[in-house]
Structure 1
Amino acid sequence: MKIRLYLIPILLIIFFSFTQCKNNNEEDLYGDDCDTLNMTYSRVKFIFQNNCYSCHSANLYYRDIKTDTYEDLKAAINTGRPWGAINRFDGYLPMPNGQPKLDDCLIKKIGAWIHAGMPE
């Protein structure tokens, strides 16, 4: 009988310790520190310069996609191909070509800029 009385508190402790476990991820706990507010061309052009310019410039523009100027980039984005490529959607050539996928924050910034109407 004494064993059973000691067993009840132990089982209750074990039960309550497991019910407190949660599957938290870092973003839920600390928030997303990717600033996508007020995205303009001047805030996203470095992404394209660092990741796209070597193949998509006036000197070498693969698949008629140029990223030299605001007008060039806006025309390219309007085709929908760059967005599909950087997100690596089915049916699109993954970009940057031969490189890892862009960081999620960079993609979010580009998406916010596009969603805002691609302001200069």
Structure 2
Amino acid sequence: MLVEITSPLPDRPLWAALSPDDSEAAAVGRQLVVTRHPLDPPADGAGPTGPRPLAGHESTVYRAIYTPNGQALATVSGDTTLRLWDLTTGQSLFRLQLPTANRDASPLWDFDLTCTTDQSACWIAVP
């Protein structure tokens, strides 16, 4: 399936991630907002039909990774923060301030997220 992700500003996403159930894509970029795009909006209008923003970062958002169950999304930004978003409420669950000492040595957007099979625990690895 080919999905075009557009934005209202003359900006292009820097990264897009597909949810584990293929129901949406999260696009990030210079707009400071993570935008969730439904890929197969329900015809009856029972679910989301348009883009849904997650706002809170204060600089370019470089990367997004869904948790395996698709209920949360981790994002990293040039404001040197990593956020974990609850996708049910759209609220930030927590904000991690990343170290700034070696910004030139390792890119800020280089992080990973992994969870146990039952998702009772998750780990975020940052440089």
Report the TM-score range of the alignment, normalised by the length of the smaller protein. Answer: under 0.3
TM-score, scaled to structure 2: 0.20
Q: What is the TM-score normalised by the length of structure 1?
A: 0.21
Q: Which has the higher contact order (CA 8 A, sep 6+)?
A: 1
Flag the structure with higher strand content: 2
Q: Quick check: which one's helix share is greater?
A: 1
